[in-house]
Amino acid sequence: MANKESLLPLKMLLFSFHATNTIILSFLPLYLAYKGLNGTEIGWVLAIGPLASIFAQPFWGYMSDKYKTVKKILLICVMGLLIFSTIFFQMNTLISIMCMGAVFYFFTTPIGGLGDSLAQRRADETGVSFGTIRTWGSVGFSVSSLIIGSILSKYGVEYMIWPYLFFGFIALLVVLRVKDVKVESDPVSLKDVNILIKNKEFVFFLLAVIFLSVAHRANDSFIGLYITELGGSEALVGLGWFVGVITEALVFATAGFWFKKLHPLIFVMLAGILYSIRWIIYGTANDPMFVIGLQILHGFTFGVFYLAALDYVTRLIPKLLQSTGHLVYYAVFFGISGIIGSLAGGAIMDHYSGGTLYYVMGFVSLIGTVAIFIYHVIFSRSRAVGR
């Protein structure tokens, strides 16, 4: 019982961090538009976060494995979030926004990955489902999107820094109470990272899922602008995220009942098929409420995909490199994919329309689903023998 009680600070950390993440993900594009940036420029700023994460995720993951602590690295990153977000929101020119954004994102982007890595390990230690811990991140995301959307709709998107700092301070307070994990092994060295690079299953899996994650990240960046393009307000953008993430939370919370029924790659492929259908239907929208209603599919796409992919990655990497491996996966999912999704999505939004962007995303997701299927066929024999 004591073990399970000790999970409360971790759940609250996930809740508060994802509440801050909602504010950036849902409303930063609208904030940048308020600052006078066009679609292409917004795409450039949004691409800075994923670019920073490509360096930040493996770096902080390596530091976590080297010094055998997740908690202390989380503490450093949350402090960086508070300090550099305050400076970031004072910037007004494209260059200054991008430069300070890079520093801000260097500290903030690894928090989700480290939190999930810690949750995965604590779930194993306590014998509970990872999904039941991770669902608190989704709850924080959904509650924040609904409340903050209403507040910003009333007072203006220019005030988004205040709720951001509020949830950031809560994250700082609870991370001090989080229970760290114990790893009974020698500290990791740089040469150990070669194990990941030489792991063909791990590398090819990352290459295959990048197609699905590019489309997902493009949606993260531009669904708010798409809803406003269709005539919606900040409150409707918040409602759209709320509907989506509530279904995600339900998927995570019930993972213990359905998740072990099939191989995780089967779930990844099922999510990929649903992703393809979801984006193409979004492309036909002519009313913001149509998009918001369809956000119920978010849990059955991202929720299923994320759980299955993280579980599969955990199987592929040795315990010694768990944080590093998880954050390399994060760097691909939220980093490389985020850069491509933000830059390409911004250009398509500028020159065509949101509808066109979603049709392209549907096609790209279909390619990703086929890639996962081919990967599954190629590596199924080695998995059957080795695992």
User: Does pLDDT of 385 surpass 50?
Assistant: no
The 10s digit of each residue's pLDDT in 5-23 is 578 899 999 999 999 988 8
Q: Considering only CA atoms, give the Rg of the chain.
A: 20
pLDDT at 58: 78
The encoded tokens of residue 109 equal 């982007």
What's the whole-model pTM score?
Answer: 0.76
pLDDT at site 187: 55
User: Mean pLDDT over residues 186-197, rounded?
Assistant: 66
Average pLDDT, integer, range 101-124:
88
Average pLDDT, the chain: 86
CB count within 10 Å of CB 255 equals 21
CATH of domain 2-386: 1.20.1250.20
Q: pLDDT tens digits, residue range 225-261? A: 899 889 988 888 889 888 988 898 888 888 878 877 8
Query: What is the per-residue pLDDT for 185?
Result: 54
Rounded to whole angstroms, the Cα distance separating 124 from 316 reads 16
Of 103, 143, 137, nearest to 119 by C-alpha is 137
For the chain, the residue count is 387
The distance of Cα 140 from the centroid of its chain, to the nearest Å, equals 13
With 90 as the cut, is the pLDDT of residue 281 above it?
yes
Provide the residue ranges of all domains of the chain, joining segments of one domain with +: 2-386
Q: Is the pLDDT of residue 292 over 90?
A: yes
What does the DSSP assignment read for 197-216? HT-HHHHHHHHHHHHHHHHH
What is the per-residue pLDDT across 143-176, written as a single tens digit (0 to 9) for each? Answer: 888 888 889 888 988 899 999 999 999 999 999 9
pLDDT of residue 181 exceeding 90: no
Q: How confident is the model at residue 1 (pLDDT cuts 50, 70, 90)?
A: very low
pLDDT of residue 386: 46
CA–CA dist 226, 289 (Å, integer):
12
Reduced to 3 states (helix: H, G, I; strand: E, B; else coil), residue 93 is coil
Compute the CA torsion angle 366, 370, 373, 374 (nearest 10 deg). Answer: -160
* Contact criterion met (CB below 8 Å) for 254 and 189: no
